[in-house]
Amino acid sequence: MGEGMRSESLLYLTDEQLRQGIEAMYFAYRGFTADPDRILESMAYGRAHHRAIHFINRAPGTTVTNLLAILGVTKQSLNRVLRTLIEDGLVESRVGTSDRRERNLYLTEAGVTLEHRLSDSQRERMRKAFRDAGPDAVSGFRRVLEAMMDGELHRQYLSLRDTGQ
């Protein structure tokens, strides 16, 4: 430590500050997932189902392969989740029109309903956090999070972000 801090900004990078950031990230993520987890556990679902529902809702008609890339899991793992969602009538899987090897995924009406319940609870918490922290904090929050992503993750985040209206 202390090998030529020239600018004020470097003062923020003590090990103590970094450790606090790490622990804040850990506890905040637990809070972040708490509300949807509560809703999901009443059904037979888990976080994996939530993630699948979220991204199918974001990109209706997406393929299994595309979803695999976003979620970063194996196709076998995703398939199990997807199968239960299809059986339960929350997701519809249509054979691709141009390439019949692909399956295009859509939420059914029931799927959209559940997605709303889940995202409402999560948005509400995010809204409260943003409100409590104030408008200046929001941009800082997002800038740090973006800088924390790997190149590949960051690319995925941006490409999703840009599809939002």
- List contacts with a second copy (CB under 8 A): 8-9, 11-13, 15-32, 34, 51, 72, 119, 122-123, 125-150, 153-154, 156-157, 160-161, 164-165
137 DSSP assignment: H
Q: Is 150 helix (H, G, I), strand (E, B) or coil?
A: coil
The DSSP secondary structure of 16-40, one letter per residue, reads: HHHHHHHHHHHHHHHHHHHHHHHHH
Residues 41-100 that bind DNA (CB under 7 A): 44-49, 51, 63-65, 72-83, 93, 95-96, 98-100
Give how far the C-alpha of residue 80 lies from the chain's centroid of Cα atoms, to the nearest Å.
19
30 binds DNA (CB under 7 A): no
- C-alpha to C-alpha distance for 160 and 18, rounded to whole angstroms: 29
For residue 58, the minimal CB distance to a second copy (Å) is: 8
Task: Note the residues at the interface with DNA (CB under 7 A).
Answer: 44-49, 51, 63-65, 72-83, 93, 95-96, 98-103
